[in-house]
């Protein structure tokens, strides 16, 4: 059964009427770049000054895009969406830490998430960022090819050990680990570390996934190289495909520092390479597992059409679709309704620590052409549909 991405009844069945009103308010707010920028600034200032705004944030933007402050709160949200065959990616959304002490403290939190995920049928993934376990400056230095001091070499070894401990725990419980992409100027050591984890833990199935950001014009060739490397080294590649999240920052840095802009010349080029990457992966499912992370309706529709035409069953164990929690429910829930393997990124953590994540969600909705208006159209259509039912 082909998914109908305009079916709002299926898309929002898990949402109450009050949820829908809150979502309409938030996306109406984010439709204005000025209001979004003002709101982000006010939230950051309020948190910095320790103003009593946590309750407001938690009941609005946090509730829309996050599962809860604790793993226990998040478990409830995960259970709700699982009733509609939508699975969960646990994403401990704490960012911006810079000390070994903080990095070490994060490891048991991720292992606790793995243990919890393993006890549930509907949580096949956890997500992590290398910058949650390593100093940005250290990654930047390694990427630039500079020699490390003895202390920095030992520091990098500790980063490796933290990630390996988490990936090892995940492999033991058969929970998949999605390692997020970072800025291009720190990505090389992240790739090296992720590839080492795949070579160690992906011998029989894809446990560890690297992320390929197609807003970079070098990504499609790199994906082809990664497939060849996996074949040569005899492991299953885990390939998470996304368009990307750091475009404006990337362009600005390239301009300021005078190096070639790593970003595609236009969105059409990103879309072309992204869809080519999905196709490449679908043609190589004997060598890899593909995680299609997109809010693009055409990419989802084209993928399902290709799968149907080439006899790839909707619930193929090496093909996953995903969207962020709180966004593109018309894609997630309609894909799941048609039998595809779908999961939602479900961030959790203390409100004050998840603020950077929430700000990015707001900024991305404002900057991605058509995203907010599409969300609003779907939300308004469902609210109207429910009102008509009440009138009857």
* pLDDT of 108 over the 60 cut: yes
Q: How confident is the model at residue 104 (pLDDT cuts 50, 70, 90)?
A: very high
Reported as a single tens digit per residue, the pLDDT across 133-165 is 999 999 999 999 999 999 999 999 999 999 999
Q: How confident is the model at residue 110 (pLDDT cuts 50, 70, 90)?
A: very high
Query: What are the Cα distances from residue 339, in Å, to 15, 114, 335?
Result: 21, 25, 7
Give the CA count within 13 Å in the CB-facing half-sphere of 286.
Answer: 2
CA dist., res. 219 & res. 247, Å (int):
14
Contact 320, 342 (CB under 8 A): yes
Q: How confident is the model at residue 246 (pLDDT cuts 50, 70, 90)?
A: low
For 287, the token pair is: 């060598």
Reported as a single tens digit per residue, the pLDDT across 170-197 is 999 999 999 999 999 999 999 999 999 9
Report the percent of the chain where pLDDT is more than 70. 93
Q: Taking the domains of the chain in order of start, what are their residue ranges?
A: 8-391
Q: What b/e sequence results for 309-321 when a residue is b if at least 16 CB atoms lie within 10 Å of its CB, and e otherwise?
A: eeebebebebbbb
Check residue 122 and give its pLDDT.
95
Instruction: Please state the pTM of the whole predicted model.
Output: 0.93
Q: Which residues, other chains included, contact 194 with Cβ-Cβ below 8 Å and sequence gap of 6+?
A: 130, 179, 208, 210
Check residue 135 and give its pLDDT.
95
CATH class given for the domain over 8-391: alpha beta
Check residue 221 and give its pLDDT.
97
Check residue 367 and give its pLDDT.
53
Axis crossing angle, helix 33-48 with helix 351-367, rounded to the nearest 10: 170
């Amino acid at each position: 059964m082909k998914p109908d991405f305009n079916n709002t009844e299926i898309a929002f069945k898990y949402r109450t009427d009050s949820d829908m009103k809150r979502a309409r308010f938030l996306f109406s707010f984010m439709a204005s770049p000025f209001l979004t920028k003002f709101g982000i600034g006010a939230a950051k200032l309020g948190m910095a000054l320790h103003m009593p705004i946590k309750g407001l944030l938690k009941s609005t933007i946090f509730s829309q895009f996050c599962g809860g402050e604790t793993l226990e709160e998040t478990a409830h949200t995960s259970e709700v969406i699982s009733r509609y065959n939508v699975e969960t990616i646990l994403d401990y959304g704490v960012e911006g830490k810079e000390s070994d002490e903080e990095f070490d403290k994060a490891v048991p939190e991720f292992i606790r998430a793995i243990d919890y995920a393993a006890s549930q049928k509907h949580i096949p993934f956890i997500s992590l960022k290398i910058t949650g376990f390593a100093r940005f400056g250290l990654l930047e230095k390694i990427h630039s090819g500079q020699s490390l001091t003895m202390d920095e070499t030992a520091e990098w070894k500790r980063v490796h050990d933290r990630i390996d401990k988490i990936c090892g725990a995940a492999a033991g419980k058969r929970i998949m680990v999605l390692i997020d992409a970072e800025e291009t100027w720190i990505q090389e050591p992240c790739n090296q570390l992720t590839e080492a984890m795949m070579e160690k833990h992906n011998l029989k199935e894809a446990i560890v996934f690297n992320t390929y950001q197609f807003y970079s014009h070098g990504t499609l060739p790199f994906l082809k190289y990664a497939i060849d490397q996996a074949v040569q080294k005899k492991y299953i590649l885990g390939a998470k495909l996304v368009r990307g999240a750091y475009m404006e920052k990337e362009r600005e840095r390239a301009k300021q520092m005078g190096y070639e802009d790593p970003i595609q010349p236009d969105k059409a080029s990103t879309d072309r390479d992204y869809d080519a990457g999905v196709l490449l992966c679908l043609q190589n499912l004997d060598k890899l597992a593909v995680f299609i992370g997109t809010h693009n309706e055409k990419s989802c529709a084209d993928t399902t059409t290709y799968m149907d035409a080439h006899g790839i069953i909707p619930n193929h164990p090496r093909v996953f679709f995903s969207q962020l929690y709180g966004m593109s429910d018309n894609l997630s829930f309609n894909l799941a309704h048609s039998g595809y393997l779908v999961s939602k990124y479900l961030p959790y953590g203390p409100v004050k620590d998840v603020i950077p994540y929430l700000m990015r969600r707001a900024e991305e909705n404002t900057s991605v052409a058509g995203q907010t208006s599409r969300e609003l159209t779907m939300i308004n259509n469902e609210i109207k549909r429910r009102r008509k039912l009440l009138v009857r």
